[in-house]
Chain A
């Protein structure tokens, strides 16, 4: 079957994607600046007090999770629209709910003083020792709830569209080709990946909404208690699935764009389909690796956390990254910003998997958990992986609008690579040295690491400033183009 539908994106739909990416670009840059402020504070280069530091930390964490989810949703929507009919109205409703949620979060944090971290571990939102009130906590939790509701609508619409075209999720995941007697390739990789994301992230959002609602009730009815371990399970299930879904949505840019550069199709063969089906299951059951230091958890769950962490690396390394390498190898590809960033993103994702699996090893987690090793590994695959996918997609849009790369773009790409690598390895090294994460004030012996990291973060911010400026300045032209 020819999977592509004939109608290209309408002008309104294209402009909606541009609105998503412009929002993502601006907020991403702002959150990076917040990250720089945090590192400089830890490095004693800025006089920011602990209360303000933890407010910035709360916004940085929630903001990065949210904005990467928004940007990757735009990538998924843009390419999935080629195969199924999606609703632009629902797409925009998600953006509107997101922006309202962001305003609520910012008000809760910077006006109300909420500093309970994105993890809002029960019962911290209700126990601030007088530093923020119920209203501030409710604004923050309510903002997250609203953002989750928007994403749920987004997924329900995507699910409706996929079901209308493919009949059921099994077909959309390519199970007839994988398990049945149907010969040939499965649905396009974009459809397979989107289906997986819809399944796992709907579950994640429902878990997140449950604990957010319970925490909101607890704020105003303290006698309504939640088991703290259950709360942690729900939060980390939600958090893990939600941020992983970000990567699985964003990688669609790699599946779609690299083949166009190399004239080599990325087909969903059986190995590909098996990998995505396996990932669907693994992403759901892997989350206990966040709870390896919660000894009260059932031990089988903790062992499962480690075993699944090891297994989860296989589909990424053996299928997606390997597939990208194969598609690029001796392809005669034209290297430019889009192809370069997308290729780099595959290194970022796989490179980040290494320290993640290391940390998922229980005996290592016992001395690394909640040190800077943890943000070291997730910044590796988020910064060098997902963010590279975003900007690769943005430059692809620019290219389709006939914009040529400049020397400044190319210099920024190298600066970005240098800054990001220096930054994540500063984090990882600090983790090796047992420096805790989420500390507003560091001991004197840790300060040099923070200062080195600050220099690298500044390089990243400078490079991203160029990426973002290029995109924003091109928006009027991109928004006016009828076809791109």
Chain B
């Protein structure tokens, strides 16, 4: 689950940073000549830079192997299609029952202002989203693996009843 991954990575890296700052703060009151510190510091910085590059590059490339944009170009792929229109402040869906195990392509637009189309699973975790924009159709494809009642919620502020924009989708056994 990407949420869990994001949380753990953030906790680990921020804690590591905090430790470095505490380490430096605790030694700040001691005094030493700056020149040797600079020489050593620059050497460590070069290694730190390359470590970031060596760790960051594969992470960057790997994370781009699972992009959610395929449905925008992949016109012929077979999928259950649900047309979605956002309005102030409700959703209209061409159907609200889909089958698990087969891709569902949501084709999303807006009749008025910008909305955000987010699919929440039965545990109220986001599993997919895109923007619902006037004059544009954004397509998002998602394969439900678990039957149940999923919620559609608006994640782009769209006016004073924004929080009321909810709809439901029933996902049935394949």
Tell me, yes or no, whether A322 is within 8 Å of chain B by CB.
yes
Tell me, yes or no, whether A183 is within 8 Å of chain B by CB.
no
Q: Report B16 CB to chain A, min CB distance, Å.
A: 9
Tell me, yes or no, whether B174 is within 8 Å of chain A by CB.
no
Q: Which residues of A in the span 340-369 have a Cβ within 8 Å of any Cβ on B? A: 343, 346-347, 350-351, 354-355, 358-359, 361-364, 366-369
Once the chains are docked, how many angstroms separate the CA of A449 from the CA of B7?
15
What is the interface of chain B, defined by CB distance below 8 A to chain A? 2-7, 9-10, 13-14, 17-18, 20-21, 24-25, 27-32, 34, 37-38, 41, 45, 48-49, 52, 56, 60, 63-64, 66-69, 71-72, 88-89, 112-114, 116, 118, 120, 124-131, 133-140, 153, 155-163
Q: Which residues of A lie under 8 Å from residue B10 when comparing CB positions?
A: 354-355, 358, 428
17 intermolecular pairs with C-beta atoms under 8 Å apart: A54-B159, A119-B157, A124-B113, A127-B88, A127-B113, A294-B133, A296-B136, A328-B24, A335-B25, A343-B25, A350-B17, A351-B17, A363-B66, A364-B5, A367-B129, A369-B155, A433-B125
Q: Are A434 and B112 in contact (CB under 8 A)?
A: no
Q: Which residues of A in the span 402-440 have a Cβ within 8 Å of any Cβ on B? A: 428-429, 431-434, 436-440
Q: Are A302 and B2 in contact (CB under 8 A)?
A: no
Tell me, yes or no, whether A121 is within 8 Å of chain B by CB.
yes
Once the chains are docked, how many angstroms separate the CA of A219 from the CA of B123?
42
Q: Which residues of B lie under 8 Å from residue A302 when comparing CB positions?
A: 69
Nearest neighbor of B135 in chain A, beta-carbon distance: A228
Once the chains are docked, how many angstroms separate the CA of A440 from the CA of B163?
7
Tell me, yes or no, whether A175 is within 8 Å of chain B by CB.
no
Q: Could you say which of A20-28, A159-167, A303-311 contacts chain B?
A: A303-311
A354 in complex: contacting residue of B13, B24, B56, B63, CB < 8 Å: B13
User: Most chain-A Cβ atoms within 10 A of its Cβ — which of B49, B60, B157?
Assistant: B157
Majority secondary structure of chain A interface residues (helix, strand, loop or mixed)? helix
Q: Report A196 CB to chain B, min CB distance, Å.
A: 20
Q: Are A434 and B17 in contact (CB under 8 A)?
A: no
Q: Report B18 CB to chain A, min CB distance, Å.
A: 7
Nearest neighbor of A126 in chain B, beta-carbon distance: B113
Once the chains are docked, how many angstroms separate the CA of A369 from the CA of B131?
10
With known contacts A127-B113, A314-B52, A367–B63 Cβ distance under 8 A: no
Tell me, yes or no, whether A295 is within 8 Å of chain B by CB.
yes
B28 in complex: contacting residue of A51, A335, A434, A438, CB < 8 Å: A335
A115 in complex: contacting residue of B112, B114, B135, B160, CB < 8 Å: B160
User: Most chain-A Cβ atoms within 10 A of its Cβ — which of B6, B18, B27, B139?
Assistant: B6
Q: Which residues of A lie under 8 Å from residue B13 when comparing CB positions?
A: 354
Q: Report A48 CB to chain B, min CB distance, Å.
A: 12
Q: Report A219 CB to chain B, min CB distance, Å.
A: 14
Q: 1/0 per position for A161-183, CB-CB distance to B under 8 A?
A: 00000000000000000000000
Q: Report B24 CB to chain A, min CB distance, Å.
A: 5
Q: Report B90 CB to chain A, min CB distance, Å.
A: 12
Q: Are B3 and A368 in contact (CB under 8 A)?
A: yes
Q: Which residues of B lie under 8 Å from residue A129 when comparing CB positions?
A: 88-89, 159-161
Nearest neighbor of B53 in chain A, beta-carbon distance: A314
Q: Are B37 and A366 in contact (CB under 8 A)?
A: no
Nearest 5 interchain pairs by C-beta:
A332-B31, A370-B155, A330-B32, A295-B138, A438-B157
Q: Which residues of B lie under 8 Å from residue A437 when comparing CB positions?
A: 155
With known contacts A332-B30, A445-B124, A50–B24 Cβ distance under 8 A: no
Q: Report A30 CB to chain B, min CB distance, Å.
A: 22
Q: Are A373 and B41 in contact (CB under 8 A)?
A: no
User: Most chain-A Cβ atoms within 10 A of its Cβ — which of B41, B158, B160, B163?
Assistant: B160
Nearest neighbor of B142 in chain A, beta-carbon distance: A366
Q: Are A127 and B155 in contact (CB under 8 A)?
A: no
Q: Which residues of A in the span 253-307 have a Cβ within 8 Å of any Cβ on B? A: 264, 271, 293-296, 299, 302-303, 306-307
Once the chains are docked, how many angstroms separate the CA of A368 from the CA of B34?
44
Tell me, yes or no, whether A117 is within 8 Å of chain B by CB.
yes
Q: Are A330 and B131 in contact (CB under 8 A)?
A: no
Once the chains are docked, how many angstroms separate the CA of A299 from the CA of B13?
29
Once the chains are docked, how many angstroms separate the CA of A208 from the CA of B161?
27
Tell me, yes or no, whether A329 is within 8 Å of chain B by CB.
yes
Q: Are A229 and B136 in contact (CB under 8 A)?
A: yes
Q: Which residues of B lie under 8 Å from residue A96 when comparing CB positions?
A: none
Once the chains are docked, how many angstroms separate the CA of A119 from the CA of B48?
37
Q: Are A363 and B28 in contact (CB under 8 A)?
A: no
Q: Are B63 and A361 in contact (CB under 8 A)?
A: yes
Q: Are A432 and B20 in contact (CB under 8 A)?
A: no
User: Most chain-B Cβ atoms within 10 A of its Cβ — which of A302, A437, A439?
Assistant: A439
Q: Which residues of A lie under 8 Å from residue B24 when comparing CB positions?
A: 325, 328-329
Once the chains are docked, how many angstroms separate the CA of A335 from the CA of B125?
45
A318 in complex: contacting residue of B28, B48, B125, CB < 8 Å: B48
Q: Which residues of B lie under 8 Å from residue A92 when comparing CB positions?
A: none
Once the chains are docked, how many angstroms separate the CA of A318 from the CA of B17?
12
Q: Report A255 CB to chain B, min CB distance, Å.
A: 16
Q: Are A329 and B88 in contact (CB under 8 A)?
A: no
Q: Which residues of A lie under 8 Å from residue B116 when comparing CB positions?
A: 293, 369-370
B159 in complex: contacting residue of A128, A313, A317, A373, CB < 8 Å: A128
Once the chains are docked, how many angstroms separate the CA of A50 from the CA of B159?
10
Once the chains are docked, how many angstroms separate the CA of A313 from the CA of B13?
13
Q: Which residues of A lie under 8 Å from residue B153 when comparing CB positions?
A: 436
Q: Are A330 and B25 in contact (CB under 8 A)?
A: no
With known contacts A127-B159, A355-B10, A434–B3 Cβ distance under 8 A: yes
Once the chains are docked, how many angstroms separate the CA of A363 from the CA of B136?
22
Q: Which residues of B lie under 8 Å from residue A432 when comparing CB positions?
A: 3-4, 6-7
Q: Are A370 and B52 in contact (CB under 8 A)?
A: no
With known contacts A124-B158, A295-B138, A351–B64 Cβ distance under 8 A: no
Once the chains are docked, how many angstroms separate the CA of A175 from the CA of B68?
41
B161 in complex: contacting residue of A50, A119, A124, A347, CB < 8 Å: A50
Tell me, yes or no, whether A479 is within 8 Å of chain B by CB.
no
User: Most chain-A Cβ atoms within 10 A of its Cβ — which of B24, B128, B161?
Assistant: B24
